Amino acid sequence: MWQALLNNLGKDNHKSLARAISLVENEQDGWLPFLSQLPAGSARLVGITGPPGAGKSTLVDALIGEWVADGKKVGVLCVDPSSPFNLGAVLGDRIRMNQWYNHPNVYIRSLASRGSLGGLNQMIIEITAVMQAAGFDYILVETIGIGQSEVEIAGLADTTVLVLVPEAGDEIQTMKAGVMEIADIFVVNKSDRPDADRFVNNLRLMMAPAFSQQERTIPVIKTIADKKEGIQELKDAIRKDAAHEELNNDRKVWLLTNRVMQIIQRLRMKDVQPAVISEKIREELATGQFNLFRIASQF
Amino acid sequence: MWQALLNNLGKDNHKSLARAISLVENEQDGWLPFLSQLPAGSARLVGITGPPGAGKSTLVDALIGEWVADGKKVGVLCVDPSSPFNLGAVLGDRIRMNQWYNHPNVYIRSLASRGSLGGLNQMIIEITAVMQAAGFDYILVETIGIGQSEVEIAGLADTTVLVLVPEAGDEIQTMKAGVMEIADIFVVNKSDRPDADRFVNNLRLMMAPAFSQQERTIPVIKTIADKKEGIQELKDAIRKDAAHEELNNDRKVWLLTNRVMQIIQRLRMKDVQPAVISEKIREELATGQFNLFRIASQF
């Protein structure tokens, strides 16, 4: 089964790909040897993140259009927030992307974050590795909602695009310390809104090397995604970012180290059953001698 | 040294507390036995989260005022986003809270998120456990910035307060699936802004049991934090949430299980050196036979 999937990953209209992702996601027997055999692939992994309402889905839709017109193959992962309490997921319907669901060069998959404590799907590294092997030119990972860690996506993506809207002006001062630094590219979407130019100019000033401690100027792209304006510029910026990274092997190694760390972590935690821990917690709570670290030491 | 700290945790004007937190944060020899000896404490752990610009710090400041007036002891942890790239941290100055820094019943500490992939400080469970043992009535954990996982705070806090502003109206549809469900209490701050009432009413409708799959109605509190309006109501809602949880032991066990899982994870990953992984990655990249899972299998 796994061998057949491996052979057909980039073929059969994404059927084997879809199946392989599902099997890996469920850690079906043989998933780890399967992953260890995957060819590396050369897809560029692009993360699209930002606050809700910034227009990320519309932007992704427009980007797919640009790339498909260039004859590129595009994979899209949409990570939806799910509840940590019921471990179920309400997968968002992305109406704007509907036109791409049956296109032979486009594969779109929604993933729930499945109650992981961070914001991304726990198996996202594995899933993107499977997609890498399927021969895409670009893999877009879109995260929706403020319940997800933009910092986490930066650890996964080759290029991280942070989408903002002009109203975000007041918040930049707060964001700068952490979130702003994850962006390889800024997009100011809905840039026909009032004050957009002032916002863009301030952002550009802030992101110039003198202020931002970055070695280069982080591009700030103005878009109006629902009118397809600025998309070509964004596409160019993504291509240039890839070229820049060729020169910057350290960053690539850092990204890959992060991914390997997460895989090791998952493998080492496989035997830890939350239900067993909960049982011990109930016991200790009943005795009144409760201590988190004493319980943890038993595993 | 550790024994002296243990004896003086709740005394000496927070000096031993501050020292113990620093030592634990740096995993100084003996930190784990120290943590295993800590008494449980009965502080209520309240998470304050929400998008930047919602007024969380002002709200925290006002809440401290209410509690201190009631004779309560309050600990505050402010988690600041830090860069994943330089592993340094720019600690935000919280001017609004300045008046509390020297109050004998208040202890405020800023923590950087220290480049963890999630948004919270990697040692936050350990640090809150130390604070628990210092005899506070309330421990507030405030997270700033969209680069932090609101879902993560819900796994830590006994009561999670999600702070929104009326402008968030458009975004609620997107947020509902995941983030909305983490809230035990909603605060609509800056509720003197236009359209605030409509927003609050919609939110209340959405959070009624019929729609939200919650067993009870999640309170929605209107505040104007910088005028101290609505703070008393928020204080009452936090107290009622604690009373509700007494009845709901399952949720408490779930929260504690999460914390134990994170502690185990950290203990098991202690020996994994990112530098060693990076070295292996460089070797495999050089051979052109790169595979993440093959590298991870070696650890």
d(CA A113, CA A108): 16
**A258 and A125 fall within a common domain:** yes
What 3-state class would DSSP assign to B160? strand
Whether A276 and chain B come into contact, CB under 8 Å, resolves to no
Tell me what percent of the residues of chain A surpass a pLDDT of 70.
Answer: 79
Tell me, yes or no, whether B200 lies in a domain.
yes
Least confident of B100-109, B194-203, B232-241, B244-253: B244-253
Whether A4 and chain B come into contact, CB under 8 Å, resolves to no
**B34 and B47 fall within a common domain:** no
DSSP β-bridge partners for residue A142: A48, A78
User: Could you tell me the residue range of the domain that residue A241 belongs to?
Assistant: 39-268
Q: Nearest CA to CA, how far is A89 from chain B (Å)?
A: 8
**A6 and A129 fall within a common domain:** no
User: Which residue in the set A145, A262, A295 is minimally distant from B175, CB to CB?
Assistant: A145
CB B21 within 8 A of CB B130: yes
Residue finishing a domain among B210, B230, B247: B247
What 3-state class would DSSP assign to A10? coil
Q: Residue B154 maps to which CATH number?
A: 3.40.50.300
- Adjacency order of strands within the sheet including B220-222: B106-112, B74-80, B138-143, B44-49, B159-164, B185-188, B220-222
Tell me, yes or no, whether B280 lies in a domain.
no
Q: How many domains does chain B have?
A: 2
Query: Mean per-residue pLDDT for B256-282?
Result: 90
CB B106 within 8 A of CB B16: no
pLDDT digits (tens, 9 = 90+) for B121-157: 678 889 999 999 999 999 999 875 444 455 667 778 8
Find chain B residues with C-beta within 8 A of A167's C-beta.
167
A201: confidence class by pLDDT, cuts 50, 70, 90: confident
Find chain A residues with C-beta within 8 A of B80's C-beta.
177-178
Please say if the pLDDT value at position A94 is more than 90: no
Q: Taking the CA atoms of chain B, what radius of gyration do you get in angstroms?
A: 21
In 3D space, the residue among B84, B86, B89, B111 whose CA is nearest the CA of residue A182 turns out to be B84
User: What integer pLDDT is reported at residue A107 of this predicted model?
Assistant: 94
**B55 and B33 fall within a common domain:** no
User: Which residue in the set A125, A175, A265 is minimally distant from B146, CB to CB?
Assistant: A175
Q: Which of residues 179-238 of A touch B (CB under 8 A)?
A: 179, 181-182, 213
B220 CB neighbour count, 10 Å cutoff: 22
**B94 and B237 fall within a common domain:** yes
**B13 and B119 fall within a common domain:** no
Tell me, yes or no, whether B155 lies in a domain.
yes
What 3-state class would DSSP assign to B220? strand
β-pairing, A44-49 vs A138-143, is: parallel
Query: Mean per-residue pLDDT for A132-145?
Result: 86
A173: confidence class by pLDDT, cuts 50, 70, 90: very low
d(CA A132, CA A118): 23
CB A159 within 8 A of CB A34: no
Whether B290 and chain A come into contact, CB under 8 Å, resolves to yes
Residue finishing a domain among B247, B266, B293: B247
Please say if the pLDDT value at position A116 is more than 70: no
Find chain B residues with C-beta within 8 A of A53's C-beta.
170-171, 174
Whether B149 sits inside 8 A of A145 (CB atoms) is no
Phi and psi at residue A253, to the nearest 5°: -65, -40
User: What integer pLDDT is reported at residue B237 of this predicted model?
Assistant: 96
d(CA B266, CA B123): 9
Find chain A residues with C-beta within 8 A of B42's C-beta.
none
Average pLDDT value for chain A: 81
Q: Which of residues 90-109 of B touch A (CB under 8 A)?
A: 90, 92
β-pairing, B159-164 vs B44-49, is: parallel
What's the CA angle centered on B88, arms B87 and B91, to 5 degrees? 135
Contacts of B42 (CB under 8 A, 6+ apart): B132, B137
Tell me, yes or no, whether B260 lies in a domain.
no
Q: Is A171 left (phi over 0), alpha (psi -120 to 50) or beta?
A: alpha
pLDDT digits (tens, 9 = 90+) for A11-59: 888 999 999 999 998 889 999 999 999 988 889 999 998 776 788 889 9
CB A117 within 8 A of CB A86: no
pLDDT digits (tens, 9 = 90+) for A235-283: 999 999 888 766 677 878 888 898 899 899 888 998 999 999 999 999 9
User: Which residue in the set B179, B253, B295 is minimally distant from A281, CB to CB?
Assistant: B253
B42: exposed, middle or buried (Cβ count in 10 Å: 0-12, 13-18, 19+):
exposed
Find chain B residues with C-beta within 8 A of A295's C-beta.
260
In 3D space, the residue among A269, A10, A41, A46 whose CA is nearest the CA of residue A162 turns out to be A46
B113: confidence class by pLDDT, cuts 50, 70, 90: low
Query: Mean per-residue pLDDT for B190-211?
Result: 80
CB B138 within 8 A of CB B235: no
Whether B38 sits inside 8 A of A291 (CB atoms) is yes
Contacts of A252 (CB under 8 A, 6+ apart): A158, A245, B285
Chain B interface mutation, best of A123, A142, A151, A199, highest count of B Cβ atoms under 10 Å: A151
User: What integer pLDDT is reported at residue A145 of this predicted model?
Assistant: 46
Whether B257 sits inside 8 A of A277 (CB atoms) is yes
B157: exposed, middle or buried (Cβ count in 10 Å: 0-12, 13-18, 19+):
buried
DSSP3 helix / strand / coil % (chain B, rounded to 5):
50, 15, 35
Please say if the pLDDT value at position B4 is more than 90: yes
User: What integer pLDDT is reported at residue A266 of this predicted model?
Assistant: 85
β-pairing, B220-222 vs B106-112, is: unpaired
Q: How far is CA B144 from CA A176, B8, B261, in A?
A: 11, 31, 24
What DSSP string runs through A30-51? THHHHHHH------EEEEEE-S
**A34 and A120 fall within a common domain:** no
**A16 and A153 fall within a common domain:** no
Least confident of A49-58, A262-271, B81-90, B167-176: B81-90
Q: Taking the CA atoms of chain A, what radius of gyration do you get in angstroms?
A: 21
Residue of higher predicted confidence among A212 and A101: A101
User: What integer pLDDT is reported at residue A71 of this predicted model?
Assistant: 96
User: What integer pLDDT is reported at residue A36 of this predicted model?
Assistant: 92
User: Which residue in the set A146, A285, A297 is minimally distant from B179, CB to CB?
Assistant: A146
Average pLDDT value for chain B: 81
Chain A interface mutation, best of B122, B174, B199, B269, highest count of A Cβ atoms under 10 Å: B174
Whether B278 sits inside 8 A of A253 (CB atoms) is yes
Please say if the pLDDT value at position B14 is more than 60: yes
For B293, name the nearest residue in chain A, comparing CA atoms only. A36
Chain B interface mutation, best of A56, A80, A160, A174, highest count of B Cβ atoms under 10 Å: A174
Tell me, yes or no, whether B224 lies in a domain.
yes
* Complex confidence, ipTM: 0.74
Torsion of CA A252, A253, A254, A260, to 10 degrees: 120
CB B292 within 8 A of CB A125: yes
Q: Which of residues 139-158 of B touch A (CB under 8 A)?
A: 144-152, 154-155
Tell me what percent of the residues of chain B surpass a pLDDT of 90.
Answer: 41
**A125 and A244 fall within a common domain:** yes
**A72 and A90 fall within a common domain:** yes
**A116 and A172 fall within a common domain:** yes
What 3-state class would DSSP assign to B12? helix
d(CA B254, CA A275): 9
User: Which residue in the set A51, A80, A299 is minimally distant from B51, CB to CB?
Assistant: A51
Tell me, yes or no, whether B146 lies in a domain.
yes
Crossing angle of helices A56-69/A231-246, nearest 10°? 80
* Sign of the CA dihedral running A237, A240, A244, A249: positive
**B108 and B82 fall within a common domain:** yes
Q: Nearest CA to CA, how far is A87 from chain B (Å)?
A: 10
Tell me, yes or no, whether B257 lies in a domain.
no
Structure tokens at B183: 């809230």
Tell me, yes or no, whether B199 lies in a domain.
yes
What 3-state class would DSSP assign to A178? coil
Q: Nearest CA to CA, how far is A38 from chain B (Å)?
A: 7
pLDDT digits (tens, 9 = 90+) for B19-76: 999 999 888 999 999 999 998 888 999 999 877 678 888 999 999 999 999 999 999 9
What's the CA angle centered on B261, arms B256 and B264, to 5 degrees? 125
DSSP β-bridge partners for residue A77: A109, A141
In 3D space, the residue among A153, A123, A171, A143 whose CA is nearest the CA of residue A22 turns out to be A123
Contacts of A49 (CB under 8 A, 6+ apart): A56, A142, A143, A148, A150, A153, A160, A161, A162, A163, A182
Whether B181 sits inside 8 A of A258 (CB atoms) is no
Query: Mean per-residue pLDDT for B96-114?
Result: 79
Q: Which contacts qualify for B100-106: CB closer than 8 Å, 24 or more apart?
A: B100/B61, B100/B64, B100/B68, B100/B76, B103/B68, B104/B13, B105/B68, B105/B71, B105/B72, B105/B73, B105/B74, B106/B64, B106/B68, B106/B73, B106/B74, B106/B75, B106/B76
pTM > 0.80: yes or no: no
What DSSP string runs through B32-92? HHHHHH------EEEEEE-STTS-HHHHHHHHHHHHHHTT--EEEEEEEPB-TTT--B-PP
